[in-house]
Amino acid sequence: MKKVIITAFTALVLFSCQNDQTADSSGSEAAAAKATLRSCATQDVLEAQLKADPTLAIRMNEIEAFTNKTLLTGKLVNGKIQIPVVVNVLYRTTAENISNAQIQSQIDVLNKDFNAQNSDYNSVPALFAGVKANVGISFVLDQVIRKSTTKTSWGTNDAMKKTAQGGLAPTSPTTKLNLWACTIGGGILGYAQFPGGASSTDGVVIDSKYFGLSGSANAPYNLGRTGTHEVGHWMNLRHIWGDATCGSDLVSDTPTHNTANYGIPAYPHYSTCSGTPVEMTMNYMDYTDDAGMYMFSNGQKNRMAAIFVSGGARYSFGQP
């Protein structure tokens, strides 16, 4: 297992998750349906965020320092955290206007995945059984807001979160998790804002084709795990490979990965990184298909919990 390493890269605020084979700007449904891989345009998004807000790196480093101090003291949240969720649906077509049932299915997936109630939780290999975690955070659907639009796609510049650009502004973003369901375009599945970003753009965007379990959800991303992955980012988790060859995700009990994994890798999948021969490919923060990811680690659980303590970046979400 690797040591936690803090680098300047912790300033990354936004991850934009996309299908590697459909990274063109068209974002057509036909192209997206053919995609089999996901990847992230992290560098472009990072540069855009830092250019737009020069203080972002400072805030992110402060949050990282607070997180590490909290983990060292062991003063994490006592009791269960329940987060109200507002879902903002932006639609042009009937398929984009996802049903309440499909929306609820995504909330149900989040509750199962973050509480070790997912049916594949017991599929975690024995090697990682000692670190698999019940995160203990639950979600409740608070409100669904719908808006018809003429836009065919929204991109990753947060236009869907801005009324002036035809989107829907977040509702009570300091106390409620806002999700946007819309066609993002470019084959992109979803993206999330890390703690430290502006409240006016805080939340998670998920393409309506990969939202929840039913309706327009497209295999192999039809099990709601895009939502789980992105909410993980919203709760301060990094990609498990640290967005670098043998990089760090700032968590001590996840093995160092060579890079992202795709599809459903056969177990054991070996790393060539020093000291960590078997990769945790079934972790929600890897890039496997929905059916290939089904666990968080205890280290990830503690990292998420740290942002909800007094003084933490998302403390307000944990209050009654």
What tens digit of pLDDT does each residue of 201-243 get? 999 999 999 999 977 677 899 999 999 999 999 999 999 999 8
Token pair 């510049």: residue: 157
The percent of residues in the chain predicted with pLDDT above 70, rounded, is 84
Condensed to tens digits (0 to 9), the pLDDT of residues 139-161 reads: 999 999 999 999 999 998 999 99
> Is the model's pLDDT at 36 over the cut of 80?
no
Query: 29, 47, 64, 230: which is the annotated catalytic residue?
Result: 230
Query: Which pLDDT band holds residue 75 (cuts at 50, 70, 90)?
Result: confident
Residue scoring higher pLDDT (76 or 137) = 137
pTM: 0.91
Residues 6+ apart with CB under 8 A from 284: 113, 225, 228, 229, 232, 293, 294, 295, 296
pLDDT at 31: 37
pLDDT at 266: 97
User: Is 279 marked active-site?
Assistant: no
Query: Which one, of 272, 259, 301, 269, lies nearest residue 38 by Cα?
Result: 259
Query: Which pLDDT band holds residue 320 (cuts at 50, 70, 90)?
Result: low
Rounded-to-integer distance, Cα 46 and Cα 60, Å: 12
pLDDT at 39: 47
User: Span 157-185, mean pLDDT?
Assistant: 96
User: Span 308-313, mean pLDDT?
Assistant: 94
pLDDT at 51: 79
Residue scoring higher pLDDT (320 or 57) = 57
Residue scoring higher pLDDT (18 or 62) = 62
pLDDT at 74: 85
